[in-house]
Structure 1
Amino acid sequence: MSAPEPASRSSNRSTPQRCSYTYLSPENTQEGRRLLDSITWPETPPLPKPFSLALTTSGAKSSFTIVPRDGGWRVGDELTVRIQLRDYNGNPKKSGGDYLTTRLHNRKLGAGVVGQVQDHLNGTFTAVFPLLWNGPADVEVLLVQTSESITVLKRVDEEQPDRIQFSSDFRLGSVTETSTCNVCLDPDKAPLCDFTDLHTGEQWFCYKPKTLDCNTRVSHMVVLPGLKISEEESLLFQSQQMVSKGINMKVLIKALGKATVTISAKAGEIKKITTEPSGYYYGNEWRPLGGPKVHQFNNASVITACLKGKQLHMFGDSTTRQFYEFITKKLPNLLRFEKHSTPQCGPFLAVDHTNDIMMTFRCHGPPLRNYKINLSQMQYVANELDQLNGGPDTVVVVGVWAHFDSFPMEVYYQRLMAIRRAVGRLLNRAPGTKVIVRTANMKDMNVHGSLYNSDWFSLQRDKVLRAVFNHPGVLLLEAWEMVQAHYLPHNLHPPAEIIKLMVDMILSNTCPENRG
């Protein structure tokens, strides 16, 4: 991580310096290109011509089989599952690129773990699970998105990187003008106001208002255009609720034969599992593998004891705001200062003077999909980190992902690198600071949501985030596997049961000596 560098404010130039959705700054080019190339998705097939849904992947026609094991399964072994995808006619698929997830679970035991999926690029997949508990375990295979739908998503991503649009109000006295804004705009259409942040290098432009100057900008808001795909293409994005039209998105694939195995107690020493996930559920508690042990913080007194004398700063999007809201509701002695803040975005402040506790939340900068926010309330995370003193009693939680799903990966990578450099400066001047980065998570999907926030889009960004923050000074909060391995339905904003488990992870890292 880089050495400290001075902070600076956004520019208000009327002439753009550079405008490109796929631009990587010089210091990020080599690592960025190598990283983005490493996560390239397998090639997906073109859509059938003439289009026929019958020739695309069908979850109902596909199946999986548990590979038998001599002597059965014991704790510490691995379970292998073979998956065969078929089209609606029942014919085996011959190409790869479908997006599958797998889970091994036991609802009664409160147990669950994700499997490692390998695409053999010929219509077959293999999933491997570590066996971590004693007793029955059910295999679940989920077709998240078909390869054909991913073909559409790839095209949309390339052809419409500006499919989420934004605007700003410019105001001077009684005169107000609204103008289109985005990461990149066409300078041939109209003069641009360049609001690129001089410290982070983050690009942001608005078309110059007809009469007002660039420096009269006062607000930011999202404008959701009516992005459309063809009626045929929309058939590839059918959720489980649309039974009358078929199912090909987030549909469970059935087993050929048994879908359940019985895991016996271990015999002798357990060998090292090669398909080790980040963690697993048991007894409805999250148990990390290779990370800090998670303790339970089940009441206000235990949470207060952990946070006593500490500052907890949270930055990011609404999924990160859930942590702030969860903790503040649990602590009745906190004084909350939120009256003049934007409800979804903050900035929020909560303090407990008696126990010397301070908590804050602030949303990240553009591209933020907020309906209207005052510019003074929207700051880049990197700039906020540079304002922190840090130290052993400071905990920082960062979560930035969902609002970048509709932009090219370069835009997201640039943002993460700016934050990573700021984290490096923070840890350099205050080595005892605890930094936690929240990963992405799966969500419920429909046609509209898939084009903007598909789980497939989020998965790619999650891979980039993990690679960027693969650093010993940073703890990754495993939201992705915690949502996928849980029995509750996927949701952009995970339910309170899962948020509580994530908060337990934050607090366990904040005060690892606490046993709840």
Structure 2
Amino acid sequence: MKKRYFAIPCLSVVILFVYLHLNWNTLNLSQVYLPERGVTYLTEKVMRYGTIFVPSVCAHPNKSRIYLKHAHKVYNLGDEVEVQIDLYDMLGNRKMTGGDFLRVWMENPERAASVSGRVADLYNGSYTALLKAVWPGNATIKAFIATRREEIVLDYMILQKHYSLWTIFAEFRANNLKDSTKCSISQGNSLKTNEWCNFTNENNGYSYYCRKSKIKQLTCDRWSHSYSENRIAAPLNNTERNILGLSVIDPKPDILQTSVKVSVRRASNDMELPAPRTPCNKLPTVMTWQRTSPNGYFLQNKWHSLLCTNTLPRTTDAYRRCLKGRTLWLHGDSTSSQFKGALHSILHFPSHTDGHVPTTDTDVTHNFSISWHAHELPFYNGARRYDRSTHQGQNVMMDRLPNTTKDIVVLYMYVHFTLVHPDVFRRHVQRLVPSAKNLLARAPNVTLAVRGPHAFFRPMHGLLSYWGLLYTNIWHEAFASLQHKIVYLDFWDLTMAKTSRDFHPAEDTVKEMVHTMMSLMCFRK
């Protein structure tokens, strides 16, 4: 068994070597990685060729090292600091391929300061990172192996074969009868399509299928609830479990043991980096889509944008004035529900949130509402059974808004889609575009935003922050024609600089994200 298992990866390596050898002169590395923002990811084309699934050849934090590219350790405020990271495996052998997802940041805990770095893959086991010196004083640069190439490729291979890492179930009910069946966004290659219930129409036009119940009385129209098993459902051998388990363990051991210490001196009499001149609510929307990195930094636990100046007071009254006469639509998943919770805390009015049940809360006294609704399936509700009406496509919500609306709409999908093939996310995002165009054309007073992915340290059972790199690109491609009308809420650098182990950011981080959102969208003309 062991010999056969290791023979397959070796054959994959031979095939990949032959391919690269024959196509090296025509291979466009700019198509393999995304250099504009400075953060890189493997394309699906590269992932399909596989890799060697042996834990001992994965990047190891104790063997790998980070060091300055240039000798001097003293920098001026505003300078760029360049470091290099060389990865080694558990046996101390130099890694010769790229594709590992590294997270690099600079911090000063005494000042509650941090800033993320732009990481570039050199395709040979080495990575460079550029960091901006944004506060005077001392700083330490650290690197973290967020996700290994081997895990990313294995994750993708599972999605190619099984369509989803976790399993969603449909529950059918009639009289005293009850039964559950597995669901999928695809019927696969099955020729027996009559074994499936096609719930695409019920899922607002997004592909969704569930196996028919073997109980005759429980026909497809008896679908009543959905739930999920929040664990990897695909059959795995021990080696594959070990590979996928690398990003579930405590993240601390995967921070490189070596770090870089630098000193930043202030320029002339400037104690801090000068703030941008443009107020955030006057920043042209197209500028919010620019992939400038870093686009901000933390100082005294407050987020400071490098694109604009936040002129919105952090007060209950300012938020109320912004929302007066409007509904703020925060549809999506539990990480958008966190935004709703943070706003309730700031605005001091009660929330009636109940898990994934759709909720619209209204402050009658101050005349505004905040709405949360779970996005369409695939959505992994966990063990609790939720009514089939729980989920709603965000395109449906936009189509229902009147022409006179002055509401603020934040489009957002992310965490649940990291469990399905990237093509599924691409299709769902693309379906939002016509509705967004129509809404902007017929409702001139609406304010529309797209919220991009955020980063996190460690997932639960296969959820990878890594896919946020690819999904950012998908949002940008799909909404390219609307970037002059829609605000892009870019929280990648913010959450790269402020570490969060779970895919739910910490409460103080969420409040900084919310205030950044409000500063960009409130009183925008």
User: What TM-score do you get using the length of structure 2 for normalisation?
Assistant: 0.79
Q: CA offsets per residue over residues 421-464 of structure 1, 9 Å max, x none?
A: 22221111112311222222233436xx353x122234322332
Q: CA offsets per residue over residues 389-422 of structure 1, 9 Å max, x none?
A: 2667311122211111121111100111112222
Q: Is the 8 A contact 2:73 2:261 kept in 1?
A: no
The 2-side partners of 1:441 and 1:230 are apart by 31
- Structure with the bigger percentage of helix: 2
Q: Is the 8 A contact 1:168 1:180 kept in 2?
A: yes
User: Residues 413, 74 of structure 1: CA spacing in aligned structure 2 closer, same or farther, 3 A cutoff?
Assistant: same
Q: Pick the aligned partner of 1:387 from 371, 392, 400.
A: 400
Verify: 1:114 aligned to 2:92, yes or no: no
Q: Residue in 1 aligned with 2:195? A: 191
Q: Which amino acid is 1:454 matched to?
A: L
Verify: 1:330 aligned to 2:346, yes or no: yes
The 1-side partners of 2:73 and 2:223 are apart by 70
The 2-side partners of 1:250 and 1:422 are apart by 46
Residue 36 of structure 1: CA displacement? 10
Q: Which amino acid is 1:106 matched to?
A: N
Verify: 1:456 aligned to 2:466, yes or no: yes
Q: CA offsets per residue over residues 96-127 of structure 1, 9 Å max, x none?
A: 11111111122222322211111111111111
Q: Which amino acid is 2:213 matched to?
A: P
Q: Is the 8 A contact 1:35 1:464 kept in 2?
A: no
Q: Residue in 1 aligned with 2:155? A: 153
Verify: 1:264 aligned to 2:265, yes or no: yes
- Could you say what secondary structure the match of 2:206 adopts? coil
Q: CA offsets per residue over residues 299-330 of structure 1, 9 Å max, x none?
A: x3343233222221111000001111222233
The 1-side partners of 2:423 and 2:515 are apart by 33
Verify: 1:46 aligned to 2:57, yes or no: no
The 1-side partners of 2:308 and 2:31 are apart by 24
Q: Residue in 2 aligned with 1:236? A: 243
Q: Which amino acid is 1:140 matched to?
A: K
Q: Pick the aligned partner of 1:473 from 462, 485, 488.
A: 485
The 2-side partners of 1:36 and 1:122 are apart by 14
Q: Pick the aligned partner of 2:452 from 418, 424, 439.
A: 439
User: Residues 206, 291 of structure 1: CA spacing in aligned structure 2 closer, same or farther, 3 A cutoff?
Assistant: farther
Residue 177 of structure 1: CA displacement? 3.7
Q: Pick the aligned partner of 2:256 from 253, 256, 268.
A: 253
Q: Residue in 1 aligned with 2:211? A: 207
User: Residues 410, 108 of structure 1: CA spacing in aligned structure 2 closer, same or farther, 3 A cutoff?
Assistant: same
- Could you say what secondary structure the match of 1:304 adopts? helix
The 2-side partners of 1:240 and 1:208 are apart by 35
User: Residues 290, 62 of structure 1: CA spacing in aligned structure 2 closer, same or farther, 3 A cutoff?
Assistant: same
Q: Pick the aligned partner of 2:184 from 176, 182, 185.
A: 182
Q: Which amino acid is 2:222 matched to?
A: T
Q: Which amino acid is 1:236 matched to?
A: I
The 2-side partners of 1:399 and 1:265 are apart by 39
Q: Which amino acid is 2:142 matched to?
A: E
User: Residues 404, 425 of structure 1: CA spacing in aligned structure 2 closer, same or farther, 3 A cutoff?
Assistant: same
Q: Which amino acid is 2:330 matched to?
A: M
Q: Is the 8 A contact 2:326 2:368 kept in 1?
A: yes
Residue 261 of structure 1: CA displacement? 1.1
The 2-side partners of 1:35 and 1:124 are apart by 19
Q: Residue in 1 aligned with 2:360? A: 349
- Could you say what secondary structure the match of 2:377 adopts? coil
Q: CA offsets per residue over residues 212-243 of structure 1, 9 Å max, x none?
A: 33223222222446434322233335559968
Residue 374 of structure 1: CA displacement? 0.9
User: What TM-score do you get using the length of structure 1 for normalisation?
Assistant: 0.80
Q: Which amino acid is 2:491 matched to?
A: A
User: Residues 227, 143 of structure 1: CA spacing in aligned structure 2 closer, same or farther, 3 A cutoff?
Assistant: same
Q: Is the 8 A contact 2:50 2:154 kept in 1?
A: no
Verify: 1:409 aligned to 2:422, yes or no: yes
Q: Which amino acid is 2:401 matched to?
A: L
The 1-side partners of 2:160 and 2:247 are apart by 28
Q: Pick the aligned partner of 1:482 from 463, 484, 494.
A: 494
Residue 155 of structure 1: CA displacement? 2.2
- Could you say what secondary structure the match of 1:141 adopts? strand
Q: Is the 8 A contact 2:249 2:458 kept in 1?
A: no
Identity of counterpart residues, as a percentage? Answer: 21
- The answer to which of 314-323 and 150-159 deviates more is 150-159
Residue 267 of structure 1: CA displacement? 6.1
The 2-side partners of 1:252 and 1:199 are apart by 42
- Could you say what secondary structure the match of 1:218 adopts? strand
Q: Which amino acid is 1:381 matched to?
A: Q
- Could you say what secondary structure the match of 1:386 adopts? helix
Q: Residue in 2 aligned with 1:312? A: 328
Q: CA offsets per residue over residues 357-384 of structure 1, 9 Å max, x none?
A: 1111111010111132112222111111
Structure 1 unmatched runs, 5+: 1-33
Q: Residue in 2 aligned with 1:124? A: 126
Residue 333 of structure 1: CA displacement? 4.3
Let me know the Cα RMSD of the aligned residues.
3.4
Q: Is the 8 A contact 2:60 2:254 kept in 1?
A: no
Q: CA offsets per residue over residues 163-193 of structure 1, 9 Å max, x none?
A: 3222222334444443332211255355322
Residue 200 of structure 1: CA displacement? 5.8
Q: Is the 8 A contact 1:47 1:151 kept in 2?
A: no
Q: Residue in 2 aligned with 1:29? A: none
Q: Which amino acid is 1:483 matched to?
A: T
The 1-side partners of 2:307 and 2:227 are apart by 42
The 2-side partners of 1:240 and 1:377 are apart by 31
Verify: 1:284 aligned to 2:295, yes or no: no
Q: Which amino acid is 2:442 matched to?
A: R
Q: Residue in 1 aligned with 2:14? A: none
User: Residues 274, 82 of structure 1: CA spacing in aligned structure 2 closer, same or farther, 3 A cutoff?
Assistant: farther
Higher relative contact order (CA 8 A, sep 6+): 1
Q: Which amino acid is 1:265 matched to?
A: R
User: Residues 355, 174 of structure 1: CA spacing in aligned structure 2 closer, same or farther, 3 A cutoff?
Assistant: same
User: Residues 181, 482 of structure 1: CA spacing in aligned structure 2 closer, same or farther, 3 A cutoff?
Assistant: same
The 2-side partners of 1:181 and 1:35 are apart by 34
